[in-house]
C-alpha cells in the first residue's frame, strides 16, 4: 500500500562518514560546545613494522649514504646514531585518507583516469573510477571483479535508481557526505540498500526514526523491517508499544495486514489504559473493510484479552457486533467468556484457557523536566519538559520563584522542589513546592524544619528524604523526612558525617549518598540508608573523590557521573554493582559536567546540562544499554542551566491523548 512517510522536511541533515580524528569525544568544551579537546591515541600502538636483519640494515644505510652524496651534495657521512633509542610511529593515515578522498573527487571532476560511465537509461551519465566504487560498495565490487558482463564494460545502465539519487550516492561514495531531507531520504535509502552501502542505509533509517510520529511510525517500521535496519526497527517497535493509543487512531493503522495486526494486538507490552481500548482499535480495523475482513474476526478476538474486558462492554459492544453475531466461532468465543464470568470466583476450579494477564509496557511514556537552576544571567524560574520518544524540549509552567541549589524528587506524578536558594539570595530557604504538570500548577507544601541548600533529595518507601546540605552554620549531617500520607516533616537518622553536594540514588529499597563535600575536602565515601533497619551503612568508596556529581540507578546498578575532585572537573563515570560490591568504570561522558543532573529512562541514562569551566551548559547526552556503548549527544535544552533539578514523570494514557 502506498503510504506517506510524513517526514519533517523543515531541516536537512548532513550525513558524514567521519574518520576517527573527526569524531567528537571531547573532554572539555567551550560554552557553545562545538570546540572540544579529544583523547590522544596511544602512540605506542605500532602496526605493520618491518624488522630488518643487521646485514640488510647495513646494506640499506650504505645505499642511502651513496644516494645522499650523489644527489644532495651533503659532505658528511651518515652518523652511526641520531640519538634515537626508540621507535616512533608516524601515523598520518587519516590525513592521507582525507587527501586521497579530495584527490579522487578532483580527478573525477576533471574526468581524469575515469574508466566507467553510469546512467539510468536516459542521455545523462556519471563518470567514475571502478576501483573507487568497488572499494566502497559491495555491489560494485562484485560487478567489477566477478566474471560478469558489466566487468568488461565501460558504460553501465543502472536500473531501479533515478538519476538524481544515483548522482547523490556517487558523490557520497567519493566524499563521504550526503544531505538528507524529507524528499530524498526514501529514494536514497532504497538505493543505498540496493548498492549495499549499509552505513548509509542505517543513517537514513536513523533520520526516519528521529522523526517518528503516530502517523508515520507503521510505515517507517515496514521500511526498516524490509531493509533489515535493526536498530531503527527496535525504536519503531518501542514507539508503537508506548504510543499505541495514538497509533491505533491513525489512518495507517487501518491498512495493517492481518498478520501484523494480530501480532501487534497480542503483545504484552502495549501501553493501554484498559483492554477495551485494544478491542475498540481491533473493531475499527475490521469495520474499515468489513466485507473482506469479516473472515478474520475470530482470529482477531483471540488476540484480545477478552476476560479482561468489562462484562458489560463484552456483552453490549463485542457480543452485539454484527460480524461477531454472524460468525459462529466468534460467537462461541464470546459466549465462553460470558459463561466464565457467571461462575462464582470460589467455584472456578479450571482457569480460563486464554491469556488474561494484564499488559505491562516496559516503555511507559514519560516526560523529563528540567526545573529552575542558574545561568549566566542569574537564578532561573523557567521549566522545560522533554519527550524522550518524540525528542524535543518545550517550555512548561515556570516556578513561582527563582530557585537554585535545591533538591528535587517525584512522588505520585508530582515533582517536589525542596530548599535551595531563591531569587539570587545567598541564604538558603526551607520552602517546598509541588508541581502538577497536567494541571500546569505549582503549589506550596509544608516547610522543612530548617533551611538548607545543596542538599540531596530522594523518595524512598513513599517518604521524601532531605539529606545533608548547607545551612547558615555550614555543612550538616541532619536528615529530614516528609511523610506524604501525613503531610508532615519528621526528623530522620543523621548521616555518619557532614555532607553537601552529594549524588543520590535509590536502589533495592535503599538510599545511597555518594561522594560530596564535608566543608573541608571532597569525599569519595559512600553510605547507604536502609529504611527497614533505620540505619546508615558504609559501602565501598568511589574510585575517585567527587562532589557536584550526579547519580541514578539502572538495571540493578548505580551510575555516578562527572562532578569535581577539587582540582579538576570530571567527565568520568563510575558504576556500582551491589552484588559484586565494588565500583568500576564505564565510558566517560563526552564533556565534563558538574552541577548537572542524571536520570534513567527506558534502559538509558540521560546526563543533562550542568556547567563546564563555570559556563552553564544546555547540552544533553545519553548512554544506552547501561554502558555497553558510547555516550551520544541528543537534543539541547532551550536554556543553559546549572544547579538545577530534573525529574522523570510518567504519563497516563489520558494525559498522553491530551
The mean per-residue pLDDT over the stretch 539-567 comes to: 97
Kindly list the distances between the CA atom of residue 600 and the CA atoms of 112, 234, 506, 560, in Å, as whole numbers in the listed order. 55, 19, 12, 12
Which class in CATH covers the domain with range 366-657? mainly beta
pLDDT at 367 over 90: yes
**pLDDT (0 to 100) of residue 16:** 64
pLDDT at 48 over 60: no
pLDDT at 547 over 60: yes
**18 φ/ψ angles, rounded to the nearest 5 degrees:** -80, 140
The mean per-residue pLDDT over the stretch 130-154 comes to: 89
- What lies within 8 Å, CB to CB, of 212 at 6+ separation is 220, 235, 236, 239, 389, 390
* Selection from 572, 568, 591 nearest residue 640 by Cα: 591
pLDDT at 362 over 80: no
pLDDT tens digits, one per residue of 54-100 = 777 677 667 767 666 665 666 666 666 556 566 666 666 667 777 88
How confident is residue 346, by pLDDT bands cut at 50, 70 and 90? low
How confident is residue 262, by pLDDT bands cut at 50, 70 and 90? very high
Which class in CATH covers the domain with range 256-347? mainly alpha
What does DSSP say about strands 155-157 and 116-119: parallel, antiparallel, or unpaired?
A: parallel
| SS3 sequence of 540-602 | CCCCCCCECCEEEEECCEEEEECCECCCCECCCEEEEECCCCEEEEECCCCCCCECCEEEEEC
Q: Domain residues of the chain, as ranges?
A: 256-347, 366-657
**pLDDT (0 to 100) of residue 19:** 42
- For the chain, the average pLDDT equals 87
Determine what percent of the chain falls in helix, strand and coil, rounding each to the nearest 5: 30, 25, 45
**pLDDT (0 to 100) of residue 67:** 66
Region for residue 256 given its phi and psi (left: phi exceeds 0; alpha: psi -120 to 50; beta: otherwise): beta
* Selection from 208, 207, 273, 267 nearest residue 246 by Cα: 273
Cα–Cα distance between 44 and 47 in angstroms, integer? 9
**pLDDT (0 to 100) of residue 149:** 79
pLDDT tens digits, one per residue of 588-622 = 999 999 999 999 988 889 999 999 988 999 999 99
| % of the chain residues with pLDDT over 90 | 67
The mean per-residue pLDDT over the stretch 111-140 comes to: 93
CA torsion through residues 360, 362, 367, 368, sign:
positive
pLDDT tens digits, one per residue of 189-212 = 999 999 999 999 999 998 898 788
Q: Pick the more confident residue, 56 or 272.
A: 272
pLDDT at 409 over 70: yes
Q: In this structure, what is the dihedral angle of CA atoms 21, 22, 25, 30, given to the nearest 10 degrees?
A: 120
- What lies within 8 Å, CB to CB, of 456 at 6+ separation is 407, 466, 467, 468, 469, 499, 502, 503, 504, 513, 516
The mean per-residue pLDDT over the stretch 546-564 comes to: 97
CA torsion through residues 6, 9, 10, 11, sign:
positive
The sheet carrying 488-491 orders its strands as 456-460, 463-467, 479-483, 488-491
How confident is residue 352, by pLDDT bands cut at 50, 70 and 90? low
**Lowest pLDDT segment from 39-53, 166-180, 296-310:** 39-53
pLDDT tens digits, one per residue of 322-343 = 999 999 999 999 998 888 887 7
pLDDT at 32 over 80: no
How confident is residue 23, by pLDDT bands cut at 50, 70 and 90? very low
**pLDDT (0 to 100) of residue 60:** 67
**Lowest pLDDT segment from 1-15, 160-174, 447-461:** 1-15
- What lies within 8 Å, CB to CB, of 224 at 6+ separation is 205, 208, 209, 230, 232, 233, 236
Amino acid at each position: 500500500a502506498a503510504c506517506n512517510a510524513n517526514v519533517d522536511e523543515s531541516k536537512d541533515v548532513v550525513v558524514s562518514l567521519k574518520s576517527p580524528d573527526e569524531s567528537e569525544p571531547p573532554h572539555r568544551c567551550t560554552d557553545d560546545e562545538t570546540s572540544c579537546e579529544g583523547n590522544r591515541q596511544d602512540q605506542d600502538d605500532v602496526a605493520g613494522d618491518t624488522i630488518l636483519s643487521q646485514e640488510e640494515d647495513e646494506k640499506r644505510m650504505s645505499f642511502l649514504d651513496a644516494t645522499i652524496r650523489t644527489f644532495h651534495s651533503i659532505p658528511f657521512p651518515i652518523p652511526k646514531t641520531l640519538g634515537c633509542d626508540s621507535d616512533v610511529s608516524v601515523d598520518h593515515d587519516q590525513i592521507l585518507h582525507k587527501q586521497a578522498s579530495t584527490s579522487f573527487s578532483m580527478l573525477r571532476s576533471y574526468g581524469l583516469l575515469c574508466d566507467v560511465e553510469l546512467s539510468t537509461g536516459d542521455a545523462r551519465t556519471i563518470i567514475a573510477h571502478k576501483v573507487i566504487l568497488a572499494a566502497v560498495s559491495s555491489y560494485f565490487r562484485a560487478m567489477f571483479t566477478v566474471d560478469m558482463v558489466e566487468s568488461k564494460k565501460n558504460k553501465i545502465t543502472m536500473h531501479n535508481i533515478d538519476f538524481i539519487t544515483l548522482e547523490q550516492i556517487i558523490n557520497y561514495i567519493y566524499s563521504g557526505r550526503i544531505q538528507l531531507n524529507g524528499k530524498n531520504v526514501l529514494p536514497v535509502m532504497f538505493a543505498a540498500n540496493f548498492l549495499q552501502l549499509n552505513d548509509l542505509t542505517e543513517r537514513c533509517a536513523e533520520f526516519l526514526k528521529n522523526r517518528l510520529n503516530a502517523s508515520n511510525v507503521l510505515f517507517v517500521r515496514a521500511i526498516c523491517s524490509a531493509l533489515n535496519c535493526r536498530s531503527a526497527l527496535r525504536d519503531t517497535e518501542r514507539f508503537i508499544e508506548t504510543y499505541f493509543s495514538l497509533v491505533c487512531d491513525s489512518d495507517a493503522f487501518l491498512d495493517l495486514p492481518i498478520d501484523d495486526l494480530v501480532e501487534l494486538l497480542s503483545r504484552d507490552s502495549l501501553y493501554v489504559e484498559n483492554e477495551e481500548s485494544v478491542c475498540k482499535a481491533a473493531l475499527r480495523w475490521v469495520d474499515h473493510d468489513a466485507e473482506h475482513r469479516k473472515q478474520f474476526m475470530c482470529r482477531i478476538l483471540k488476540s484480545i484479552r477478552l476476560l479482561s474486558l468489562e462484562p458489560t462492554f463484552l456483552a453490549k459492544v463485542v457480543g452485539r457486533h454484527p460480524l461477531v453475531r454472524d460468525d459462529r466461532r466468534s460467537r462461541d468465543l464470546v459466549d465462553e467468556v460470558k459463561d466464565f464470568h457467571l461462575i462464582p470466583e470460589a467455584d472456578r476450579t479450571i482457569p480460563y484457557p486464554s491469556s488474561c494477564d494484564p499488559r505491562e509496557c516496559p516503555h511507559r511514556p514519560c516526560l523529563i523536566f528540567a526545573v529552575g537552576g542558574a545561568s549566566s544571567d542569574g537564578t532561573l524560574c523557567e521549566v522545560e519538559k522533554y519527550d524522550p520518544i518524540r525528542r524535543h524540549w518545550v517550555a512548561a509552567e515556570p516556578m513561582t520563584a527563582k530557585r537554585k541549589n535545591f533538591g528535587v524528587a517525584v512522588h505520585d506524578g508530582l515533582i517536589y522542589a525542596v530548599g535551595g536558594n531563591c531569587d539570587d539570595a545567598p541564604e538558603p530557604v526551607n520552602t517546598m513546592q509541588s508541581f502538577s504538570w497536567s494541571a500546569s500548577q505549582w503549589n506550596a507544601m509544608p516547610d522543612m524544619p530548617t533551611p538548607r541548600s545543596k542538599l540531596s533529595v530522594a523518595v524512598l518507601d513513599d517518604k521524601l528524604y532531605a539529606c545533608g546540605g548547607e545551612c547558615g552554620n555550614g555543612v550538616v549531617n541532619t536528615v529530614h523526612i516528609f511523610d506524604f500520607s501525613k503531610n508532615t516533616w519528621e526528623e530522620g537518622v543523621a548521616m555518619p558525617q557532614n555532607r553537601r553536594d552529594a549524588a543520590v540514588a535509590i536502589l533495592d529499597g535503599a538510599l545511597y549518598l555518594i561522594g560530596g563535600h564535608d566543608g573541608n575536602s571532597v569525599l569519595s565515601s559512600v553510605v547507604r540508608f536502609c529504611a527497614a533497619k533505620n540505619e546508615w551503612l558504609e559501602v565501598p568508596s568511589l574510585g575517585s573523590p567527587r562532589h557536584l556529581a550526579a547519580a541514578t540507578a539502572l538495571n540493578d546498578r548505580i551510575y555516578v557521573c562527572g562532578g569535581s575532585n577539587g582540582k579538576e572537573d570530571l567527565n568520568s563515570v563510575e558504576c556500582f554493582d551491589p552484588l559484586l560490591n565494588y565500583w568500576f568504570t564505564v565510558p566517560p561522558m563526552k564533556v565534563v559536567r558538574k552541577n548537572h543532573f542524571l536520570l534513567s529512562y527506558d534502559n538509558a541514562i540521560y546526563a543533562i546540562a550542568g556547567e563546564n569551566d563555570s559556563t552553564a551548559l544546555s547540552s544533553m547526552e545519553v548512554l544506552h544499554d547501561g554502558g555497553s556503548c558510547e555516550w551520544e549527544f541528543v537534543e539541547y535544552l532551550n536554556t543553559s542551566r546549572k544547579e538545577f533539578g530534573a525529574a522523570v514523570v510518567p504519563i497516563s494514557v489520558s494525559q498522553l491523548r491530551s
